[in-house]
Amino acid sequence: MSQRPNVLLILNDDMGYSDIGCYGGEVSTPNLDRLAANGLRFSQFYNTARCSPTRASLLTGLHPHQTGVGILVDDDGPEGYAGNLNQRGVTIAEVLKAQDYHTYMSGKWHVATDIFNPNDTWPRQRGFDRYYGIITGAADYYQPVTLTRDNDNAEHEALADDFYLTDAISDDAVRNIRDHAAANPDQPFFHYVAYTAPHWPLHAPEEDIAKYKGRFDEGWDVLREKRLKRLVEQGLLDPSLALSERDPSQPAWEDADVKEWRLRRMEVYAAQIDRMDQGIGRILQALENTGQLDNTLILFLADNGGCAEELDEPFTSFLKKRRSLLERAKDGSPIVYGNNPRELPGSQRTYQSYGVAWANLSNTPFRLYKHWIHEGGISTPLIAHWPAGIGEQGGIRHSPGQLTDIMATVLEVTGAPYPQTYQGRDILPFEGESLAPLFKAESDDRGRGPLFWEHEGNSAVRTGPWKLVRNYPEAWELYDIEADRTELNDLAADYPDKVRELSGLYEQWAARAGVVPREKILEIYSKARGEDISGGAHFIQK
């Protein structure tokens, strides 16, 4: 058996910081909790606040704008916003494959503009020996469009009555692990498992939904307070941290209407995470049964914070125009698109999201959501498990990090060199810093450089205790993130020199990373779509 470690990278989709059990949540996640209890949890790890940019950054160790995926996968923007994973970087799979690793992927890709025709931005062309999953960004769990095996359309596989995408992703990963152990016992593997759960639509098996009946009946206000208490008790957050206010657009739970429907939405969302955890359990069992668990570095994280998108009529009309959505379910009944209180979600006959108030709970104790660079949009759980390389069990690391650090970490633990050129083209140097020193002990003196973000004009820079952040097109806000991670006390007026210093760092990074000013992006999209959307700060999310 190879002494070089296997690497299993698990990413899930649109899940908040505090949903899973080992991060204070009510959702039953015994397998993730087991990994945390026998490994490490990171309390201040960050994604990029959106699906496609996170995936591009995670795969390459670059900032998303450098990869060609500055926003999503629409091909109507400038360089850095073309929507395709470009050739200026290399994926983890490409780097490790050159070092005789076998490479596998199961799940959601979402870094290619053309989602129907195989091209050089698809997984098999970007270093993966095997691929099974969806190329697009969201899909019906019972009958997903763009289901693909290697480079071939596999949508026919979803016609089976018992098909469910989360299970299919898990089962494919199990198959790859077993096949690898049988055929290549002396070589290591890299496996990227990218679940779509719990991204909308709210689809889950009824037996899983039933487990959560009554679990959320206390409502979002009480549950947010209880989650924060558990996060503090678990040692993830400081006892002095104040809970952010409920989203002002949402009613107090006691004043909310149609409670049965609202509760059902959160119950289905929880069931989606539960089903994913069950699949992770089968993956762990496959690693154990094949003797590979101890020397496999497992990393689990989410691609952005909880998603506050409401699937209203304009949103669903956009989805129907931009994607191939089904008209009817497998049983022949019409699919009702949009958040409709007259329809309880869960079955294929519905297509709903869980909405703002529950996303506010998912992101406890932080502010805002997916799309935004405040803590609710970018904070993710990160679990690291590796018995052969991480001796501490149940440890917590408070040192900050972000997605670009994953490439650096994988390179260090595998000993793989990062290329200056790849297949005859120059490659940008990766941007991250390895987390591997933190596998041994907490170390706040690593000299971690500034962290940077930009998405749809929302921007931030963090260095030391300071975070400068803005919600486009509003002014910069300044927070002492160590004392006030829930971003309640804006210090910009008190420290104008610090605002100038950090905004200067941000502008230097933005120029180097290829961030295009938001005003320019709005102008480009207006021309491309033949309509004036210059006043829309977040139009692209719809």
pLDDT digits (tens, 9 = 90+) for 250-261: 999 999 999 999
* pLDDT recorded at residue 529: 62
* pLDDT recorded at residue 141: 98
Of 168, 167, 201, give the one whose Cα is nearest residue 325. Answer: 201
Backbone angles phi, psi at 10, to 5 degrees: -115, 120
Residue type at position 291: G
* pLDDT recorded at residue 541: 37
* pLDDT recorded at residue 447: 63
Read off the tokens for 298. Answer: 């497992």
* pLDDT recorded at residue 536: 41
* Cβ-proximal residues to 404 (8 Å cutoff; 6+ apart), any chain: 57, 61, 62, 63, 430, 431, 432, 433
- C-alpha angle 102/80/466, rounded to 5°? 90
* pLDDT recorded at residue 1: 43
Residues designated as active site: 51, 110
Whole-number Å distance between alpha carbons of 294 and 288: 8
- pTM of this structure: 0.96
Measured in whole angstroms, the distance separating CA 76 from the mean position of its chain's CA atoms is: 24
Give me the residues of the chain with pLDDT under 50, please.
1, 532-542
* pLDDT recorded at residue 441: 84
pLDDT tens-digit readout, 397-427? 999 999 999 999 999 999 999 999 999 999 9
b/e map of 83-100 (b: 16 or more CB within 10 Å)? bbbbbbbbbbbbbbbeee
* pLDDT recorded at residue 319: 72
Measured in whole angstroms, the distance separating CA 315 from the mean position of its chain's CA atoms is: 21
